[in-house]
Structure 1
Amino acid sequence: MSSRTDEAALSYEQARDELIETVRRLEAGGTSLEESLALWERGEELAGVCRRWLEGARARLDAALVEEDEEGADGDAQEE
């Protein structure tokens, strides 16, 4: 299974938790340069997963707010 497939299967919470653990390991030090680079790259991937989830949530919220505004405007027009 590819990294992209793995990322697509992660929930926001899973990606966030793994990102927190990745950052903790990087901050703790004691890893080789190669391992540190691999951790950093994985952290970037996980941050991207979290960002996509949050952008999707923002889009859904914005769409719901627009729909609510349109329903409110339709209701105001019918009252007149």
Structure 2
Amino acid sequence: MSDAAISEMSFEEAMRELEAVVGKLERGDVALEDSIKLYERGAELKARCEAKLKEAEEKVAAITLGADGQPTGTTPVEGM
């Protein structure tokens, strides 16, 4: 498990660590107190992944296509 700030992680970094956290919890060989800490970090990582996915979806949705099917530009998305 990384001590990196979750808010600084890319989607891929957060997803990799989330998968590692889930793996540790599924094995069940972690002490209760450590399991709670892992679960809390996992919840934060999940939220980061969801936020990064939403951000990507908004960017994709902002792309407009012309009659020829090619991107013609982007429409600003609120907060970006």
TM-score in terms of structure 1 length? 0.74
- Report the structure, 1 or 2, having the larger strand content: 2
Helix, strand or coil at the partner of 2:29: coil
CA–CA separation in structure 2 for the residues paired with 1:15 and 1:7 = 7
Q: Which 4+ residue blocks in structure 1 deviate beyond 3 angstroms? A: none
The residue type paired with residue 42 of structure 2 is G
Aligned counterpart, 1:76: none
After the TM superposition, which residues 18-33 of structure 1 pair with which residues of structure 2 at under 5 Å, given as runs?
Answer: 18-33=17-32
Q: How many residues align?
A: 65
Helix, strand or coil at the partner of 1:30: coil
- Report the structure, 1 or 2, having the larger helix content: 1
CA–CA separation in structure 2 for the residues paired with 1:10 and 1:35 = 22
**What is the root-mean-square deviation of aligned Cα atoms in Å?**
1.7
CA–CA separation in structure 1 for the residues paired with 2:31 and 2:7 = 29
Q: Deviations over 1:12-57 (max 9, x none)?
A: 0000000000000000111111110100000000001100010000
For the pair shown, which has the larger CA radius of gyration, 1 or 2? 1
Aligned counterpart, 1:17: 16
Unaligned 5+ segments in structure 1 are 73-80
